[in-house]
Amino acid sequence: MQAPIQYHRADDGIVTLTFDAPGQSVNTMTDTMRECLAQRVSELEAAKDDVTGVILSSAKDTFFAGGDLKRLYDMQPADAARLFEATERGKNSLRRLEKLGKPVVAALTGTALGGGFEIALACHHRIALDKPKAQFGLPEVTLGLMPGAGGVVRLNRLLGLAASQPYLQDSKLMSPAEALKAKLIHAVASTPEDLVAQARAWILANPTAAQPWDTPGYKPPGGWTDAPEAKRWISTAAAQVRAKTRGCYPAPEAVVCASLEGMQVDFDTASRIETRYFVQLVTGSVSKNIIGTFWFRANEIKSGAQRPEGVEKKPVKTLAVLGAGMMGKGIAYVAATRGIDVWVKDATQAQAEGAIAAADKLLAKREEKGELDAARRQQTTARIHATDRYEDLAHVDLVVEAVPENPALKADITGSAEPLLRGDAVWASNTSTLPITGLAKASTRPDRFIGLHFFSPVHRMQLVEVIKGAQTSKETLAHALDFVMQLGKTPIVVNDSRGFFTSRVFSTFTREGVAMVGEGQDPASIEAAAMFAGFPVGPLAVLDEVSLALSYNNRLETLKASAAEGRPMPAHPADAVMERMLGEFGRKGRAAGGGFYDYPESGKQFWPGLAQHFVSGGQFPQQDKQDRLLFCMAIESVRILQEGVLDSAGDGNIGSVLGIGFPRWTGGVFQFLNQYGLDKAVHRAEYLAEHYGERFAPPQLLKDKARACAAF
């Protein structure tokens, strides 16, 4: 079998090591690759007198993709010692390479991320092929990990303690031009031939190259830890990272610790310190939660795991968006940026043209940042067409109806527009709560009717909930999924039910926060419980933004519909609080002047009436508050899976984080229960049900899974 690293020595003594993992589209740091690298370095050391220099290159379109995530994901605490030794062996190869005494150049043929970029950092000189889509950097923290092949140690020494943190803690990625500006690569090449020529020329011009940190007397930018600039960073670093992570994400904190400790010792000791923190993260639960959902499940979705088989792909070339409100404008903008021609229809031409103006405003901001030029901005806005006539939509491939949540209005629009469309056009309703099967009754072709629930703001929110109606065909589902992927979004598939998955689960979060207000809890402690559990914002602040009035009206509609369907829903303790807030105090939300918060010019503060009318003396344990917010969403998700609204726990995990802000460190609602321990989760749910309400009672599916020791 072909070795993953090819060794070639030219007549001038320059050796090229070419990464080319057999049977893989990209190079990754497998055990085989690690062993081969050690062997190649040994060969270089043995032939050192006949070696002029070394070029590291790749036979792939990319340079190196980093570590083998499947291998790391499978590592358990019992594997820590073995992982430590394997990591140290791999780092030893890179250390021997950079101390070879010969110039070593990284010829970056394309993207180098994670371990791939760490390999490049171990080289004395880095030259990148100027590919617009190439990226360089260390994204490990986004997966709950940290660089483990010397990235922390080398970046600290190369850039200094403070300047290295955006690339380490925040996983900042760079284009070739950005990496050149940051001095993390030294040159760019216009062609593969130029790349090799520059690498060879540098080797011949620098026969005794060494890393700067291996030069006597070297001081990194900003100095070592006793320098004034470094001391300033050290004085605030721990507080800043804790403010960002709230203790939920160990990776950024590990980066800070490894950086600070590593800059007080020699390189090799710093490297071992880095390995210890790396192993802790790999064998911990948070990295597994994140990798399982946002790497493995996300890649399954991208590869078409949800898509019905046997349906030919048919990209959307022309799109109609009905309604130029906030959602309609957002959908039109995103589609146009993806090369789709969009016709926006509203009651008047002027209203429809608002979508063009809104898109141009967003594009102008991107132009100011240098993300696109004036020509591309103009081309994108030119793809959006405004109309007040349904007749202008007869040619489109797909329609997204994006008018307010009013069944009668949606039915009227369906009846008016659908007869004018092509027979094979797909009709999608953007709705967050209304059952698709009911909306499809207004259609003469319900098999081509589907729900697409976009999230606001559309250009930022990654998730789209794809809702199958009772008669939605597999062809329609496939084409809808293709469209969502074409927009660069992440789809999850749900079966029809009021509130679907995301809206139904999210409402439990906000209602639980309101219920605690009604129970006399300090509103600041409620919001703090959410923040320290890892939610991006507290339930009371969320309700103020979306409107108490709108939320409560949706709740009343849901209660009414459920009663009509013969399955009345139980009362919730939040209902009485909402009735008082709206009816007695006129607190409708931020847009109406204030809700749970007041909004003076200086910022926001809790409405004093909360303390006057609701807060009592007895306060519940703060851990109970955190768990109520986490468990209310997780328990409802299990009910939804049990009812068959969700087909996949994996979709629920991704949807809960990307769509409704469930803490990312958990990996999603179902993975939260998995990592908590299903047996323990059952007992905790029973405790919460006993003390705070039957809504926390563990569903049968959760108890069955716990009994069988079977994870979601």
Q: Residue 418 in contact with residue 443, Cβ under 8 Å?
A: yes
- Using the Cα atoms of residue 16, residue 19, residue 23 and residue 26 in order, give the sign of their dihedral: negative
Nearest to 258 by CA among 149, 396, 152, 121: 152
In angstroms, the Cα distances linking 201 to 14, 110, 124, 176, 207 are 11, 20, 14, 20, 10
Q: Is 186 a catalytic residue?
A: no
Q: Where are the beta strands (DSSP E) in 170-329?
A: 187-189, 318-322
CA-based R_g, the chain, Å: 28
Q: Which residues have C-beta within 8 Å of that of residue 204, sequence separation ≥ 6? A: 12, 52, 53
Burial state string for 256-295 with b = 16 or more CB within 10 A and e = fewer than 16: bbbbbbbbeeebeebbebbbbbbbbbbbbbbbbbbbbbbe
Q: Which one of 124, 125, 453, 572 is the catalytic residue? A: 453
What does the longest C-alpha to C-alpha distance in the chain come to?
89
Q: CA 688, CA 624: separation in Å to the nearest integer?
A: 8
Burial state string for 362-380 with b = 16 or more CB within 10 A and e = fewer than 16: bbeebeeeeeeeeeebeeb
Q: Residue 574 in contact with residue 584, Cβ under 8 Å?
A: no
Nearest to 134 by CA among 202, 185, 98: 185
- Euclidean distance between the first and the last CA atom of the chain, given in angstroms as a whole number: 39
The 3-state DSSP class for residue 228 equals helix
Q: Residue 652 in contact with residue 641, Cβ under 8 Å?
A: yes
Tokens of residue 351, six digits: 């209203």
Residue that the structure tokens 């060494």 belong to: 210
Q: Residue 203 in contact with residue 186, Cβ under 8 Å?
A: no
Please tell me the number of Cα atoms within 13 Å of 205 on its side-chain side.
9
Q: Residue 531 in contact with residue 538, Cβ under 8 Å?
A: yes
**136-137 and 187-189: which strand pairing?**
unpaired
Q: CA 231, CA 158: separation in Å to the nearest integer?
A: 18
- Alpha helices, DSSP H only, in 457-538? 474-486, 502-518, 523-533
Q: Where are the beta strands (DSSP E) in 409-459?
A: 426-429, 449-454
Tokens of residue 326, six digits: 């906030």
Rounded to the nearest angstrom, the gap between the alpha carbon of residue 117 and the centroid of all alpha carbons in its chain is 21
Q: What 8-state DSSP symbol labels residue 568?
A: P
Nearest to 450 by CA among 524, 409, 400: 400
If residue 591 lies in a helix (H) or strand (E), which one and from where to where? none
Give the relative orientation of helices 151-159 and 267-282 as an angle to the nearest 10 degrees: 130
Q: Which residues have C-beta within 8 Å of that of residue 294, sequence separation ≥ 6? A: 142, 143, 654, 657, 664, 667
Residue 457, preceding bond cis, omega within 30 degrees? Answer: yes
**112-113 and 53-58: which strand pairing?**
unpaired
Torsion (CA) 69, 75, 81, 83 in degrees, nearest 10: -10
Tokens of residue 182, six digits: 């940051």
Q: Residue 569 in contact with residue 562, Cβ under 8 Å?
A: yes
The residues carrying an active-site annotation are: 453
